[in-house]
Amino acid sequence: MMIKVLIVDDESLARVRLQRFLGNRSDVQVVGEAKNGREAIQMARQWLPSIVLMDVRMPEMDGLEAAQQITRMTPPPAVIFCTAFEDFALRAFDARAFAYLLKPVKADELDAALQRATCATRAQLDDQTRSHRRHLCSRTHNGLELIAVEKIRLLQADQKYVTAYTADCEVVLSDTLKEIEQEFSQLFVRVHRSALVARDAIEGLTYTDGHLSIKLRDITIQPIVSRRLEPKLRQLLPQL
């Protein structure tokens, strides 16, 4: 299946670099190049690309505003931001970006992002058009990536960092524990001032070194339950 890609960047050298990377793939067809957000929207509606590689800062209309409109198309393309500005990552994912790569974009990082976007189901892409986020932003060795909220079992805060634990990995997030709790209160419950656990991952309670802790599916870490929050958690358990 041919992957139709639209490249959007106001710098010609950046477009050429992406073209060169994509030229090494026989399954990719570059359907157009746009120099700003307005052109990107027009070309996306005309060519219906599967993936849009988008810069953030551009004249006339920036990539964030363009992404908000492009991801509302039916079917929605996967927008992958390629930019030199890491400060826009959270806003990019609020604009329903699929991935966020920092310039100079590396070929292996681009290939990985294209692979994830290509393998995503239509339902997953449609989810990004809804107001409620389905992913959180993480900084990994591959750059800035998305972590599916439904895969997270435990969130622990240590000073200014929040670590998310899934069955497969642990990653540092860009959001604070308080922000996550407020936005995803239906998915996570606080068991300690520095820990949130996924409601559907709770398997039971146990005592460790005289402290009540909670057993979670898929991970070995058993976060301690604070005395203050223990009554609320015990009340909640029968409902889980």
Select from 3.40.50.2300, 3.30.565.10, 3.30.2180.10, 3.20.20.80 the CATH code of 3-131. Answer: 3.40.50.2300
Q: Is 215 helix (H, G, I), strand (E, B) or coil?
A: strand
Each residue's pLDDT tens digit, 10-58: 999 999 999 999 998 999 999 999 999 999 999 999 999 999 999 999 9
Q: What is the mean pLDDT of residues 209-217?
A: 91
pLDDT value for 120: 66
pLDDT band at 74 (very low <50, low <70, confident <90, very high): confident
Q: Could you tell me which residue, 93 or 212, shows the higher pLDDT? A: 212
pLDDT value for 77: 92
Q: Could you tell me which residue, 50 or 210, shows the higher pLDDT? A: 50
Question: Residue 191's Cα: distance from chain center in Å?
Answer: 25
Going from the C-alpha of 82 to that of each of 72, 129, 164, the distances in angstroms are: 20, 20, 25
Going from the C-alpha of 194 to that of each of 58, 155, 221, the distances in angstroms are: 40, 8, 14
Each residue's pLDDT tens digit, 152-170: 999 999 877 899 999 999 9
Q: Average the pLDDT over each of 80-84, 136-140, 142-146, 152-156 and give the range with the smallest value.
A: 142-146
pLDDT value for 117: 85
Domain at 147-239: CATH code: 2.40.50.1020
In the chain, % of residues over pLDDT 70? 90
| Residue 94 predicted with pLDDT over 80 | no
Q: What is the mean pLDDT of residues 71-93?
A: 86
Q: Where are the domains of the chain?
A: 3-131, 147-239
- How far is residue 70's CA from residue 7's CA, in Å, rounded to a whole number? 13
Each residue's pLDDT tens digit, 104-134: 999 999 998 898 888 764 555 555 544 456 7
- How far is residue 236's CA from residue 155's CA, in Å, rounded to a whole number? 19
Closest CA to 144 of 112, 167, 166, 177: 112
pTM: 0.58
